Amino acid sequence: MTRDNGKRRPAEPSGRPLRLTPAETIPLNRIITSHSHENFNRCLQCRTCAAACPFSSAMDIKPNQVLRMAQLGLAERLLHSSTIWICVGCHTCTSFCPMAINIPAVMDALRALSRERGIEPAEPNILNFHRQVIDSIHRHGRTHKLGVMMRYKLTSGELLSDVDAGLRMLKKGKLELLPSTVNNLKQVQGLFEEPGK
């Protein structure tokens, strides 16, 4: 403790001061809160989410770090990270979090923000997969798994990977050869239209 005008105040923390570059000081905290409807400022940094996440080892920024960086407005690093694409939205982290923070909603908000800003995704194949799934729902009102896999492979240039697994799934009847379409396709497709158009 040191004294200032006779009052006790905590000693300055030692170590390198945290400096934010101008590009990183955007009001990310406010933007994510409005996108995700989640108050992630409640995070205790207990790191339970990082320990529980089944994909944590593949992430360049752990889930608890994502929240801390979002609090600090470190937009550039977050929006260019692999983590926001690797998260599969399984909610394991939320179910273990002592504050029940909806981390997948924060990840969704970060992905949306990254697309809004036209940022090249760190994991383009994952974005491509999302696109093929959404496209299948738009065409048929539901996903046609074989179609999604074929389109993904054609567009990602990985035509021959996982062929064995695909053939085994076909043999076991896990993949339908032809797509089936929901009864009211127009209603589903209406969900894709922007309001007012």
Diameter over CA atoms, the chain: 81
Among 28, 61, 63, 73, binds ligand SF4 (CB under 6 A): 63
Residue 154 in contact with ligand SF4, rule: CB under 6 A: no
Of 28, 101, 110, 146, the one binding ligand SF4 (CB under 6 A) is: 101
DSSP 3-state assignment of 33?
A: helix
Q: Give dist(CA 106, CA 25) in Å, integer.
A: 18
Among 20, 58, 90, 182, binds ligand SF4 (CB under 6 A): 90
Alpha carbons 28 and 107: distance in angstroms, whole number:
13
104 binds ligand SF4 (CB under 6 A): yes
CA–CA separation, 27 vs 58, rounded Å? 28
Q: Specify the 3-state DSSP secondary structure of 187.
A: helix
Binding to ligand SF4 (CB under 6 A) within 11-50 occurs at 43-49
64 binds ligand SF4 (CB under 6 A): yes
Q: Which residues bind ligand SF4 (CB under 6 A)?
A: 43-49, 53, 55, 63-64, 67, 87-93, 97-99, 101, 103-104, 107
